Amino acid sequence: MKTLDDHLPERRQQLRMLDFVKLKPLKGVGYSRDHLRRLVRNGTFPPPIQLSDSRIAWLESEIDAWIMAKAAQRRPWTEGGPRMRQPPAQDRAARQARKKAKAADGADKPEAQPG
């Protein structure tokens, strides 16, 4: 039978508070304060908890849930995911194919005669 002490580490992580300064290094959330306020206002980011008149923090478990929800929304490369570079191997192959096509295209054209 588990005692209260057995559940304590889980409970601590669920109740851990992260202030603005810790969001980026611990969770990779590098948004500015203003952008976070906009996201909270729009309902797309967990609201902070007011700790004092001048201090706010977020529950780590809510930030983790937000990150997992964002990860679940992404689409694979083949389904037209975010507009970013292809994975390195595919990007390299595409560059090599363009280079070969350009070289072959240049070989078909006669060289210009100096005039």
The answer for residues whose C-beta is within 8 angstroms of residue 40's C-beta and 6 or more apart is: 46, 47, 48
Domain range for 68: 1-73
- 87 within some domain: no
- 92 within some domain: no
**What CA–CA distance (Å, rounded) separates 70 from 73?**
5
Contact 51, 57 (CB under 8 A): yes
**For residue 50, what pLDDT is reported?**
96
- 107 within some domain: no
- 86 within some domain: no
**For residue 63, what pLDDT is reported?**
96
- 114 within some domain: no
Contact 59, 49 (CB under 8 A): yes
Could you read off the pLDDT tens digit of each residue along the chain, which spans 115 residues? 555 556 555 655 568 999 999 999 999 999 999 999 999 999 999 999 999 999 999 999 999 999 999 998 887 666 665 565 556 666 777 888 888 888 887 766 666 566 5
Number of domains in the chain: 1
**What CA–CA distance (Å, rounded) separates 70 from 61?**
14
The answer to pTM > 0.85 is no
